[in-house]
Chains A and B, each alone.
Chain A
Amino acid sequence: MANGEAAAHDGHDHTPTGWRRWLYSTNHKDIGTMYIVLSMVSAVVGGLMSLLFRLELQDPGIQYISDFQFYNVLVTGHGFIMVFFVVMPAMIGGFGNWFVPLMIGAPDMAFPRMNNISFWLLAGALVLLLVAAFTQGGPGTGWTVYPPLSSIDYHPGAGVDLGILSLHLAGASSILGAINLITTILNMRAPGLTMHRMPLFVWSILVTACLLLLAIPVLAGALTMLLTDRNFGTTFFDVAGGGDPVLWQHLFWFFGHPEVYIIILPAFGIISQVVSTFSKKPVFGYLAMAYAMIAIGFIGFIVWAHHMYTIGFDVDTRAYFVSATLVIAVPTGIKIFSWLATMWGGSIDFRTPMLFAMGFIWLFVMGGVTGVALANAGMDIAFHDTYFVVAHFHYVMAIAAIYAMFSGFYYWIGKMSGRQYPRFLARVHFWTFFIGVNVLFMPQHFLGMAGMPRRIPDYPDAYAGWNYVSSIGAYITLTSTALYFYIVWKTLTSGEKVADNQWGEGATTLEWTVASPAPFHTFEDLPDMNVKEAAE
């Protein structure tokens, strides 16, 4: 038929080439790759920022950074970049884009063009943020941007305004991405792939996207109020005009607490896939795992004020937030124990992705127990705003998320590039990184208990010892990260070819049924999941 011929002609089997392939891309794999590249670029910037302040903090006294505003800008920029431009793009934009359609047997995302715009909005946001850092003193407000410090009186430069606009763009990008992922997951699953048979990574992305959709608009509203406070004479957060700086903290943390789950939930998903694959067992307690993520997402919205225990809350309010916060330990406990139970009785190959998954569990448990400590408002007096908090959230959220990203990278790089990573170097990367981050962050627990505040460029001499150790850890971590980039280059240039299913019997999800590297278009004929076993 003429019709069929036309369809075949301008159908989807030709691949655009050159810059058009990337700039105009509507292909979920290409966009996923771009997100991962953006995440790597940002990681270098954000990592070098932290290296600068670790260099400064290595010894007491002022060594390198005599401009303390610049120091504060580094701390602020490190936080923003790592949260919005490293972890979120890699997890949600990168692995989410690449593997949600592959895992549910969909040919692409539901809204391919929207996918394109959400990537390029984020790229624009990154540029804006970097410009903000060097504009009229930059935002030295911390990533929490608390007014009045962030108001026009105390930060008169346009750096804060550019930072706000950057977050607006990043937020718009996230909302569009979230809409796309939710629609794709709810509507485009292969026939027979019911919700309760979806791989846990898809579940984790679904819950994350719902959190994004609910939390980001609150941030956007708060940022707009701050912008009008700064530029158009409103006084939402200005006491002199009847406003209240604490209102900002409520709005920010109503977004900010779900945000940390937005970061860690996709990590849960990746770890579940990896643990199940290398144990050669289906995930233990699949339904409990899925519903634990939903529970974590829900509780995440009703505990925000545990970031604000020292603002002078009524004591009964604090009592509520203590109780609600402690409850989070129950679903997270279920996840930890279920991963252990998945491994129990397994026949485990300790390949690099699995090593990173085990490392993730250790870091997450470490950060989890210190989290239970911080949940107690009475005791939090001793910890709030000290390096103990820094150590806690780097263990539980930051480094744990990075571990999941490395785990996902080694797990899926064969599918994405068709090539095998260098096995020995990858192991060296794991061990050096593991030693590096623990030497880096473990001493920060001690510094915090001894009373060292966060966000200071110099410290009383008593804190010199552990700060020195911590900085050594930072240098080990940096070296290990450099090794990682060498591994990426080596894999892409000279890695050996891998089979379609390089992990064997344990890898049961749909992405392992397509060729490696995954062809430009996949699942043009929908796979029939009615007959297959549940793709846990």
Chain B
Amino acid sequence: MNKTVKLIFPALVLGALFGSGHAFAGGRSEPWQMWFQPAASPVMERIMDFHDILFVMEVAIVILVLVIMAIIIVKFNAKSNPVPSKTTHNTLLEVVWTTVPILILMAIAVPSLKLLYYTDRTQDAEMTLKVIGNQWYWSYVYPDHGDLEFDSLIIPDEELQKGQPRLLSVDNEVVLPVKTNIRLLYTSNDVIHNWAIPSLGLKLDNTPGRVNETWVSINQKGNYYGMCSELCGVNHGFMPIHVRAVSKADFEAWTKMAKEKFATKDTDVNRAIRVAGVKGFRED
């Protein structure tokens, strides 16, 4: 199925070809994309595998109904069939169209539940990242790396550098090591947000007063983008997510660098100014 799908959607083929280098070429959507973004985590890979099976079933059902409707239109219009039959019951038929869907649904439920339990959380996390939602920016905490903490705000259109995607680029991106089991803890300081990255198969609510847990392991180095996925107010569309995945060694180096960079924790005044900057973002 994977292959057919990729033949139908050549954009994906290109993505796969150019993505074969060491840096992942996906991580965000392409113009005219009709399918998932290429998977970059074991969870997203399994989601796509499951979807491939399900998609075949969906298409088969739609085609079945369309074919039956086409036959009806051709054979049973008033011209071709002037005398209607009076059949209103057929026990065998009714049993079949009740039990066959049940069997199909059971066939769906088994891999579906397996996938669900796999996505839930990791048993042996090598590190933890805390993701905290705010109106309208993200804060990240690395509790295993000396509580390294920083905020991540959108870069307004007029300040974008060349190559930075619009509405997806942030000032301080999250840096994470590849091939590492990372526990993700989600919460919020104000309203409900949702930290989601399509190519990594991540989407979970940041709810105030709760800590939600999920996990990720990133297959390849690269840049991965996402957007807030729960309506959180005026600038909901303007709090993007950018994860830069690097090798484990580079990650260690980055944490040392970042500790210095973010050592002067935002004072309250500082933070207020920056947040005010975001709130003013195109709100004029």
Name A residues whose Cβ lies closer than 8 Å to a Cβ of B.
60, 62, 66-69, 72, 140-142, 146, 148-149, 153-154, 239-240, 244-246, 279-286, 288, 310-312, 315, 318-319, 322-323, 326-327, 329-330, 333-334, 336-337, 340-341, 343-350, 358, 361-362, 365-366, 369-370, 372-373, 376-379, 381-382, 384-386, 446, 449-466, 536
Contacts and interface: CB of A to CB of B under 8 A. Distances in A.
Contacts of A329: 101, 105
Interface residues of B, number: 101
B118 to A, nearest CB: 7
A379 B54 contact: yes
Interface string B221-253: 000011111111111111000000000000000
Interface of B: 28-37, 43-44, 46-47, 50-51, 54-55, 57-58, 61-62, 65-66, 68-69, 72-73, 76-78, 81-90, 93-94, 97-98, 101-102, 105, 108-109, 112-121, 135, 165-168, 186, 190-192, 194, 196, 198-199, 201-205, 207-210, 212-213, 225-238, 282-284
A245 B234 contact: no
A460 B28 contact: yes
B120 to A, nearest CB: 4
29 contacts: A140-B233, A149-B192, A246-B207, A280-B84, A315-B117, A322-B109, A322-B113, A330-B102, A330-B105, A346-B76, A358-B69, A361-B65, A365-B61, A372-B105, A376-B54, A378-B119, A381-B119, A381-B201, A381-B203, A384-B229, A385-B194, A446-B34, A451-B29, A451-B196, A453-B227, A453-B229, A456-B237, A462-B31, A466-B32
A507 B68 CA distance: 24
Top 5 nearest A-B pairs (CB, nearest first) are: A239-B209, A456-B237, A312-B212, A378-B115, A451-B198
A369 B58 contact: yes
Given A312-B210, A348-B77, A369-B62, A376 B31 contact: no
Contacts of B30: 450, 462
Given A66-B284, A376-B116, A282 B196 contact: no
Contacts of A146: 191-192, 230-231
A461 B166 contact: yes
Contacts of A322: 109, 112-113, 116
Nearest to A350: B77
B37 to A, nearest CB: 6
Contacts of A348: 72-73, 76-78, 81
Contacts of B209: 239-240, 244-245
B249 to A, nearest CB: 30
Given A456-B227, A457-B237, A346 B36 contact: no
A385 B196 contact: yes
A339 B76 CA distance: 14
A458 B165 CA distance: 13
Nearest to A457: B237
Contact of B35 (A450, A456, A460): A450
Contacts of B50: 376, 378-379
A148 B109 contact: no
A148 B210 CA distance: 13
B33 A446 contact: yes
A154 B233 contact: yes
A382 B198 contact: yes
Given A379-B50, A382-B203, A456-B236, 13 more contacts: A62-B282, A154-B191, A283-B88, A284-B90, A348-B72, A365-B61, A372-B108, A378-B119, A379-B54, A385-B203, A449-B33, A449-B36, A451-B36
B32 A465 contact: yes
B4 to A, nearest CB: 16
B265 to A, nearest CB: 24
A379 B228 CA distance: 18
A344 B70 CA distance: 11
Contacts of A382: 36, 44, 47, 51, 198, 201, 203
A378 B116 contact: yes
A330 B98 contact: yes
Nearest to A69: B234
A70 B194 CA distance: 22
A340 B75 CA distance: 13
A345 B234 contact: no
B84 A285 contact: no
A3 to B, nearest CB: 48
Contacts of B225: 460
A373 B166 contact: no
A281 B234 contact: no
Contacts of A377: 112, 116
Contact of A385 (B94, B135, B186, B230): B230
A347 B227 contact: no
A378 B72 CA distance: 38
Given A345-B85, A460-B167, A462-B29, A311 B34 contact: no
B85 A281 contact: yes
Contacts of A463: 29
Given A142-B231, A154-B191, A361 B236 contact: no
B168 A460 contact: yes
Nearest to A292: B98
B105 A148 contact: no
Contacts of B86: 281-282
Nearest to B30: A462
Given A312-B212, A450-B36, A345 B84 contact: yes
Given A148-B192, A326-B105, A343-B72, A378 B231 contact: no
